[in-house]
Amino acid sequence: MIPPPRPDLRVTPVGAGLAVDDPVTGGRARLGPESAAVWRALLDGHRHPATLIAAVPHLSPATLRDRLCQLDDALLLDGARFAAHRGLFARAEPLPAAADLPLRLDPALRHQCVRCGASCTGVHVGPVPDTTRAAVERLGLWRAVPGAQKPDDAFVRGQSPDGPWAMMRRVGEACFALAQDATCGLHAAEGPAAKPPICRQFPYTFTRGPDAVYVGLQMECARFEATLPAGAERPVERVEAELTALVAEGAEVFDLPDPVPLAAGLWISRAAYLGQAPRWAAALDADAPPDALRALAAEILAAAGDALPPDPWRATAYWPAADAPSPAAARAAFVAALDDLLERLSEAASLGGRALEAEATAAARRALHATADAPPLADPEARRLAQLPWRAAVREHGLIRQRDLAAGFGRLELSIALARGIAADRAPAPVPIRALNDGLRLASRVLRMAPVDALLRQHAFVLRAALLPALEAGPWLGVPA
Ligand code: SF4
């Protein structure tokens, strides 16, 4: 029997779909018309594949199964999967305030800006706090924006569900506060406190856990070959003190959730996940870190999947023409969709005069089509740089940031593959470290663009598939409920 919808959920009609608020997970799911039709048929008692197929004739059996699995993975059905996970959510522990936690910084991630100005160019900088707006007015920096009549004209404004926001305007492609000598006008005149928080913490990223704030690095610095050696000269305690102050002043901090999502419909407790931290650290020191990390992630996923009780109704035999999905076909569809999107983004950026954005998307598109394997990295420094994204992601538990561990792993692999492809396209073997750095920066920027990010979420199945051979996988994994 197919499990019924959970009776404790709060359900609200929204157009032809439903909004479902979950008091156990704290999540809100939006069900489209297809899922809503399945939901209503289940409530009407059609809980066997044969009767459900008859009750919802406008959906194919394969689609019905997909929608059911999607509902079940979102823990909205009162079945074995919800029963297996319910306790994890009930026992979830709150996190201490970030300002009360010690910082955990891998000394290898120490960074020192060399003021190349590249990070202030080609990106939209914000949100901008009142302190920055006041400094822009005080210093008259707004006059650098062509056509600006008053200080407020230096900011792009908008409205989000969280309230109004403001971003620094760009002049050409650079932040208007960037001076000719590639220094920040705000920083030079009033110190780092005048800058938007995102600039102060760049390229550091923070994740709050139960015992520490873990520090990572965003891969968008243009000069890691210079900024990391410069950072290594700085005493660890001093860097930690600066970062601790940033966190206390409200830097952007991601919360490590409890339980931790591993893949669609699969969680483990935060304590169990953190219990594997020594193994993640050991994998970083292996001869081939990506392979060791992949093996460990796959093992964790498989163990969690094996612990789930079987769900007989999911068997494709009950659903005529419902085939197990082909990762290869899904991958081909994803590559085609990404190629199309990158082409459109590149054209739009060219037409809009955003040369850096056009260059980044075009370079990523060429890398997507590169048929040859990326050439090996002869330079030991370049080899170390190629491992940096893995080190940063493991140290700050960054793989979890991208929806779940499996999707995060696939996304990072994609980012590094694009970076290597971009580097190889720019400089034939041996790939110089600057080309690899450019590749990492451009690939990271492209994957962070809102339309690309949305596409990656839509095709999360492809990102997860590499780690999921032992688990049941379906196209619904890429379409969150
Ligand atoms: S505010 Fe300063 S640090 Fe931030 S992007 Fe603009 S020039 Fe760069």
Query: What is the greatest pairwise CA distance in the chain?
Result: 72
Question: Which atom of ligand 1 lies nearest, measured to the CA of 125?
Answer: 5
Q: For atom 4 of ligand 1, which residue has the closest CA?
A: 199
Question: Which atom of ligand 1 lies nearest, measured to the CA of 177?
Answer: 7
3-state secondary structure the chain: CCCCECCCCEEEEECCEEEEECCCCCCEEEECHHHHHHHHHHHCCCCCHHHHHHHCCCCCHHHHHHHHHHHHHCCCECCHHHHHHHHHHHCCCCCCCHHHCCEECCHHHCCCCCCCCHHHECCCCCCCCHHHHHHHHHHCHHHHCCCCCCHHHHEEEEEECCEEEEEECEECCEECCECCCCCEHHHHHHCHHHCCHHHHHCCEEEEECCCCEEEEECCCCCCHHHHHHHHHCCCHHHHHHHHHHHHHCCCCEEECCCCEEEECCEEECHHHHHCCHHHHHHHHCCCCHHHHHHHHHHHHHHHHHHCCCCCHHHCHHHCCCCCCCCHHHHHHHHHHHHHHHHHHHHHHHHHCCCHHHHHHHHHHHHHHHCCCCCCCCCCHHHHHHHHHHHHHHHHCCHHHHCCCHHHHHHHHHHHHHHHHHHHHHHCCCCCCHHHHHHHHHHHHHHHHCHHHHHHHHHCHHHHHHCCCCCCCCCHHHHCCC
Find the 349 Cα to ligand 1 centroid distance in Å: 22
| Tokens 């005529």 found at | 320
Find the 65 Cα to ligand 1 centroid distance in Å: 50
Please name which of 118, 316, 295, 287 lies closest in space to residue 202, comparing C-alpha atoms.
Answer: 118
Residue type (1 letter), 218: Q
Residue 190 falls in which region: left (phi positive, over 0), alpha (psi -120 to 50) or beta: alpha
Find the 73 Cα to ligand 1 centroid distance in Å: 42
Q: pLDDT of 198-211, one tens digit each? A: 899 999 999 999 99
Q: For atom 8 of ligand 1, which residue has the closest CA?
A: 120
Q: For atom 2 of ligand 1, which residue has the closest CA?
A: 184
Find the 121 Cα to ligand 1 centroid distance in Å: 9
Question: Which atom of ligand 1 lies nearest, measured to the CA of 186?
Answer: 2
pLDDT the model gives residue 278: 95
Find the 323 Cα to ligand 1 centroid distance in Å: 52
Question: Which atom of ligand 1 lies nearest, measured to the CA of 183?
Answer: 7
pLDDT the model gives residue 387: 93
pLDDT the model gives residue 464: 84
Among 128, 156, 184, the mutation site with the greatest number of ligand 1 atoms within 8 A of its Cβ is: 184
pLDDT the model gives residue 115: 84
Find the 120 Cα to ligand 1 centroid distance in Å: 5
pLDDT the model gives residue 256: 97
Question: Which atom of ligand 1 lies nearest, measured to the CA of 132?
Answer: 1
Kindly report whether the peptide bond that precedes residue 430 is cis, defined as omega within 30 degrees of 0. yes
Tokens encoding 217: 């690095």
Q: HSE (CB half, 13 Å, CA atoms) of 80?
A: 12
pLDDT the model gives residue 329: 78
Q: Can you give the residue ranges of every domain in the chain?
A: 10-90, 121-200, 260-478
Among 114, 132, 195, the mutation site with the greatest number of ligand 1 atoms within 8 A of its Cβ is: 195
pLDDT in tens, the chain (481 residues): 999 999 999 999 999 999 999 999 999 999 999 999 999 999 999 999 999 999 999 999 988 998 999 999 999 999 999 999 999 999 999 999 999 999 999 999 999 988 888 889 888 898 899 999 999 999 999 999 999 999 999 999 988 877 889 999 999 889 999 998 888 999 999 988 899 988 999 999 999 999 999 999 999 999 999 999 999 999 999 999 999 999 998 889 999 999 999 998 999 999 999 999 999 999 999 888 888 999 999 899 889 988 888 889 988 888 887 776 677 777 888 889 999 999 999 999 999 888 889 999 999 999 988 866 777 888 888 889 999 999 999 999 999 987 899 999 999 999 999 999 999 888 877 888 999 999 999 999 999 999 999 999 888 888 887 665 544 444 444 433 3
Among 173, 187, 202, the mutation site with the greatest number of ligand 1 atoms within 8 A of its Cβ is: 187
Find the 184 Cα to ligand 1 centroid distance in Å: 5
Ligand 1 lining (C-beta closer than 6 Å): 120, 125, 168, 175, 177-178, 184, 186-187, 195-196, 199
Beta bridge partners of 158: 165
Q: pLDDT of 249-270, one tens digit each? A: 888 999 999 999 999 899 999 9
Among 120, 132, 220, 356, the mutation site with the greatest number of ligand 1 atoms within 8 A of its Cβ is: 120
Question: Which atom of ligand 1 lies nearest, measured to the CA of 202?
Answer: 3
CA angle, 347 then 426 then 416, to 5°:
85
Find the 164 Cα to ligand 1 centroid distance in Å: 21
Q: For atom 5 of ligand 1, which residue has the closest CA?
A: 120
Find the 187 Cα to ligand 1 centroid distance in Å: 8
Among 142, 178, 198, 202, the mutation site with the greatest number of ligand 1 atoms within 8 A of its Cβ is: 178
Find the 130 Cα to ligand 1 centroid distance in Å: 15
Predicted model pTM: 0.89
Residues 6 or more apart whose Cβ sits within 8 Å of residue 124: 156, 167, 168, 170
Residue type (1 letter), 321: A
What b-and-e string marks burial along 339-376, b requiring 16 or more CB atoms within 10 Å of the CB? eebbeebbeebeeeebebbbbbbbbbbebbeeeeebee
Find the 177 Cα to ligand 1 centroid distance in Å: 6
Residue type (1 letter), 229: P
Residues 6 or more apart whose Cβ sits within 8 Å of residue 139: 185, 186, 189, 190
Taking CA atoms, 39 is separated from 36, 86, 321, 390, 475, in Å, by: 5, 20, 22, 41, 19
Q: What are phi and psi of 327, to 5 degrees?
A: -55, -35
Residue type (1 letter), 241: A
